[in-house]
Amino acid sequence: MHLYEVLRRPLITEKNTSLQPQGKYAFEVAREANKYQVKQAVEKAFKVRVSAVNVMTVPGKERRVGRRVVMTQSWKKVIVTLKPGDKIEFFEGV
């Protein structure tokens, strides 16, 4: 998997925004990606140093589509902790 295929999108929510002063940022990533690939992708894309990567799989939910009940796809979420002094400018002002 290429490094630029690992990161799908940043997760900008109220809960994740409150983690930014601590140097933690959240992303949706490819389901096949592991911690090492996520660390390399964030370091290369944003030119920062990563100290920790926490990975979690968010399970799919049941949704109604007419009379049917279908499951949405599960996806993988990571919270990346940066070394002190580093920050990602992409998230500033959000």
User: What Cα–Cα distance (Å) separates residue 68 from each residue in 8, 44, 62, 64, 75?
Assistant: 29, 43, 10, 6, 22
H or E element in which residue 51 lies:
strand 50-58
Write out the residue range of the structural domain in which residue 37 sits: 3-84
pLDDT on residue 26: 97
**Domain assignment of residue 93, yes or no:** no
Q: What is the pLDDT along the chain (94 residues), one digit of tens a residue?
A: 888 899 999 999 999 999 999 999 999 999 999 999 999 999 999 999 999 999 999 999 999 999 999 999 999 999 999 999 998 987 776 6
Domains held by the chain: number: 1
pLDDT on residue 4: 85
**Domain assignment of residue 89, yes or no:** no
pLDDT on residue 89: 84
pLDDT on residue 93: 67
The structure tokens listed for 28 are 């949706």
**Domain assignment of residue 16, yes or no:** yes
> Which pTM value belongs to this model?
0.88
The residues, ordered by sequence, that sit 6+ positions from 55 with a Cβ below 8 Å of its Cβ are 29, 34, 35, 38, 76, 77, 78
**Domain assignment of residue 56, yes or no:** yes
Q: Which CATH number covers residue 52? A: 3.30.70.330
**Domain assignment of residue 91, yes or no:** no
pLDDT tens for each residue of 58-78: 999 999 999 999 999 999 999
For residue 14, the SS3 value is helix
- Return the residue matching tokens 């979420």: 77
d(CA 1, CA 31): 11
